[in-house]
Amino acid sequence: MSDSSLKNKTVNGIGWSAADAILGQGITFLVGLILARRLTPDEYGLIGICLIFTTILNGIVDSGFSNAIIRKQEADNKDYNTMFITNMVVSIALFILLFFAAPWISTIFKRTELTPLIRAMGSILIINALSITQVTNLTKRIDFKTKTKASLVSAITSGAIGIGMVFSGFGVWALVAQQISKQAFYTFSLWIFNRWWPNFSFSISSFRYMWGFGWKLMLSGLLDNIWKQLYQVVVASCYSPASLGHYTRSREYAQLFSINLTSIVQRVSYPALAEIQDDKERMIAAYRKVIKVTMFVTCVCMISMGAVAEPLLYCLIGPQWHEAATYLPLICLSMSLYPLHAINLNMLQIQGRSDIFLYIEIIKKVIGILPLCIGIFVNIYWMLITSLFTGLIAFFLNSYYTGKKLGYTSWMQLKDIAPDYLVAFLMAIAVYFFKFLPLSNWIILPLQVVVGAAVMFIICETTKLSEYIEIKQIILSTIDKSHRK
């Protein structure tokens, strides 16, 4: 594939993935605001406990097979069928395990109402397994238009169900229904729009190939998921479900930009870069551009969100979530590095080094014991501060091996992203002190947004920051094409 063809395909994919994030996630975000004003932090904490287990088990269901197929140059129907059957068998087995473990989990957290909640949420494992092959098939073809349509259908329908139930007095079950229906409608829509149907043929050779590549990624992902959920386990067990509710809500808002943006870039860049994996020079140039553009948007969004945390959460979900506003700035700062972690690890997968991927994940988890201990013996706030430093160490680990493989070292990456952090912190300083004005939060927040945006545009236009110019050109080109149509 030529450079121009690859670029057009990638930009188109990013456009549809961005539409998915902005529209699909935007609808889910708005629904979440309505639900958060009607429900308590304690109720959100109960769902947070359920999600600890469904998130971990969902990582096992895929078994790393989707990445194996995306990386494979000539994936055929037997590969997809083998993956589909494997996903379904694993998901049913894990659902049964979770169903019978639910009372034991309820006893650990001393909340008997968790048993039916966990059993209901466990159905997501099977529903999700039905969608994995469809998603992989679309991702392999860089067809994000179909995925976006399915995402919009699921966001709208599940949102309507959740809002209807919360106003009808169903309480925490409104959140359960929203979570299940969102995955169900997404899966159903994928099957309708994509039209890939299994013939239930199972290939041993295909399974061996996918398992040989995927098991290390599965184990790496499992370690990562368990580690991420351990923070929630510490908060829920050492403090309270209400504290977990505050913690999870602050993380959700931070993830709106960091993880969602990175997910957009990863979904598109992984298959695109996999196509040029044998052309080292092209891949390094593309890889560097991906990091610079992604980090610019992430830094600006995350650091500025942390600076306006208090008025933002007060206006969005009310004063009962004040504790979440104290966590949000630290979480935003920590998660601003997330794209660097993810993109560096992405490159290891493209190079086929799932063994190094697993090795790095194990080392990072050992280092990550420190923040957990701080959370257990000190408090949540200091746990988040400590995680900032361990996150920086994790970046050097992630980038060290990709630096050796490709010649794009940790220090080169830091040099590339330093201007992004400078712009972001100048924005944050410009808007932070507005919160001390004797004005309503409804006035302060718009002022902060306008001033922050003005500072960013002035700095970037004056310095002609390359990543800003790249984004500007993509936006103007997209607008120009839409006008021509």
| Predicted local confidence at residue 277, as pLDDT | 58
Across the range 161-165, mean pLDDT stands at 94
- Is pLDDT of 23 > 80? no
Q: What is the pLDDT of residue 265?
A: 65
Q: Which residue from 23, 277, 225 is spatially nearest to 144, judged by alpha carbons?
A: 23
Mean pLDDT for the chain? 83
Query: What's the mean pLDDT in 159-175?
Result: 93
Residue 352 has pLDDT above 80, yes or no: no
The predicted pLDDT at position 95 comes to 95
**CA atoms of 47 and 35, how far apart (whole Å):** 13
Contacting residues for 295 by C-beta, under 8 A, at least 6 apart: 339, 340, 416, 417, 420, 467
Torsion of the alpha carbons at 412, 416, 422 and 428, rounded to the nearest 10: -110
Residues 35, 161 contacting (CB under 8 angstroms): no
pLDDT recorded at residue 36: 86
Q: For residue 242, give the nearest of 322, 317, 310 by alpha carbon.
A: 322
Where are the chain's structural domains?
A: 1-238, 243-478
Could you give the C-alpha distances from 475 to 4, 234, 288, 458, 468, in angstroms and in order?
A: 17, 43, 20, 18, 11
Q: What is the pLDDT of residues 403-449, one digit of tens each?
A: 777 777 888 888 888 999 999 999 999 999 888 888 898 999 999 99
Q: Which residue has the higher pLDDT, 203 or 442?
A: 442
Residue 5 confidence class, pLDDT cut points 50, 70, 90: low
The reported pLDDT for the residue numbered 452 is 92
Dihedral sign from CA coordinates of 98, 104, 110, 112: positive
Q: How is residue 379 written in tokens?
A: 């408090």
Contact between 347 and 402 under an 8 Å Cβ cutoff? The reply is yes
**Is it the case that residue 16 has pLDDT exceeding 80?**
no
CA distance 390 to 398: 12
Give the separation between CA 434 and CA 454, rounded to whole angstroms.
Answer: 15
Higher-confidence residue of 197 and 276: namely 197
How far, in Å, CA of 287 to CA of 339, rounded? 12
